[in-house]
Amino acid sequence: MPKARPRAVRKYSDEFKLTAVRLSQQAGVQVKTVATALEIHPFMLSKWRKDFRDGRLRGRSPKAPPPGPSREIAALQRLEREHAQLRQEHELLTKAIRFCSARKPTSLRSLRRNAPA
C-alpha cells in the first residue's frame, strides 16, 4: 500500500485573510459562501475571524468592499437555497415514481364483476 502524501500547505497573506474576514462580516453573507468563493475551507475562515476578534490577525486593513458584491452574494445565496429545494423535490418525485412503478398492478376483474353490465 503506498504511503499517503502530505498535503500541500498554502500560506495566505494577512491582507488576504483580512479581506476574507471583512467579506464574511458583511450583512446577509454566510461564512460558507465566502469560503467557497475564495476556495478555502469554512473552518479556516472561521479561525481567521476568531484570530481577528482576538487581535492576533493584523495587517494593513484594506478598504471595505463596495456594497455591490454583498447584493450579488445575497442573490447567490438565494439561488443556492432554491436549487437545494428543487433538488430535494426532484429526489422525492423520483422516489415516488420508483415506488409506484415497483407496485404490482391490481387486477381490474373485481371491478368488472361488481359493475352493472
Task: Write out the chain's pLDDT in tens, 117 residues.
Answer: 567 777 677 888 888 899 889 888 888 888 888 888 888 999 999 999 999 998 888 766 555 555 567 778 888 888 999 999 999 999 999 999 988 888 766 666 655 666 565
Compute φ and ψ for 26, nearest 5 degrees. Answer: -70, 150
pTM for this one? 0.48
C-alpha cell at 102: 415497483
- Specify the pLDDT at position 80: 92
SS3 per-residue string spanning 10-38: CCCCHHHHHHHHHHHCCCCCCHHHHHHHH
Short-list 26, 74, 17, CA closest to 49: 17
Domain boundaries, the chain: 14-102
